[in-house]
Structure 1
């Protein structure tokens, strides 16, 4: 099925789906060597950015089932990219932390993803790219639907 201007003009969901589908097409091969592929990348990003530090909180933040998260972290840990350490405040809680190897791998992936991003955004003028980034930041960081300005 082809995305047409009519699809995009009448349905933001369709436009987002088509854009994400294209992004995934461009990134799947790039992320294939990471345990978990795109999900593994998201876990590394979440752990690196100082977001939720516990295994359960990170799973909830990323929208992953906790069992899926356990297997994914097992694979990332076996690859030497993350470590699960007991939280000093509550030893029942496992904190997810990047290893040096994980930091290196994440930095390399981020650099290559910048090239993919440039390809994806090539049809836009520089000002449009910046506007899109700012708008996506607003949408991605609002706490709940309808909480943004408007």
Structure 2
């Protein structure tokens, strides 16, 4: 006799958010690839243009680890879009400076990013679009604003017990 799966009593919000986020990221990656950028490169360019920022500050803003950040900045430097320079305020610190070419590419990539977001939102009726954005903003600033640290003793299901 096989046991019955437990009945779901709520909509699977995790699936809905993961799926839409995944597909949106794939569309964003494809659109930015047309101008030779990754989403991370776009993120670094835009945040570096806002104000003088170090690699560490940019990595935190873009939710990147140190290695990923180094690879991303290397790619931006190779493409002539940004460069590492000493900080204007702290000679020991290095900041990421966006070149003129980089600023033009950032304007172009921001139009692409906005277009991908607009296309997704435009696929909804106007009233649903407003409600979705209001609800998502409420979640991201309220109930789902702060990640919870995973317990250190949590074991993965696939981990063997040998």
TM-score category, normalised to shorter length:
0.7 to 0.9
- In structure 2, the partner of 1:95 is 95
Cα contact 1:55–1:93 (8 A) shared by 2: no
CA drift at 1:115:
2.7
Within a 5 Å distance, the mapping from 1:35-54 to structure 2 comes to 35=37, 37-50=38-51, 53-54=53-54
- In structure 1, the partner of 2:115 is 115
- Larger Cα-atom Rg: 2
SS of the equivalent of 1:145 reads coil
SS of the equivalent of 2:43 reads helix
Within a 5 Å distance, the mapping from 1:13-92 to structure 2 comes to 13-32=14-33, 33-35=35-37, 37-50=38-51, 53-92=53-92
Q: Distance in 1 between matches of 2:96 and 2:67?
A: 15
Cα contact 2:84–2:96 (8 A) shared by 1: yes
Runs of 5+ unmatched residues, structure 2: 1-7, 148-162
Q: Distance in 2 between matches of 1:124 and 1:97?
A: 39
Deviations 1:7-42 (A, max 9, x none): 9x623221111111221232222222435x121122
Runs of 5+ unmatched residues, structure 1: 1-6
Greater helix fraction, Structure 1 or Structure 2:
1
List structure 1 segments (4+ residues) > 4 angstroms apart after TM superposition: 134-142
The RMSD of aligned alpha carbons is 2.8
> Aligned residues, how many?
137
CA drift at 1:104:
0.9
CA drift at 1:103:
1.4
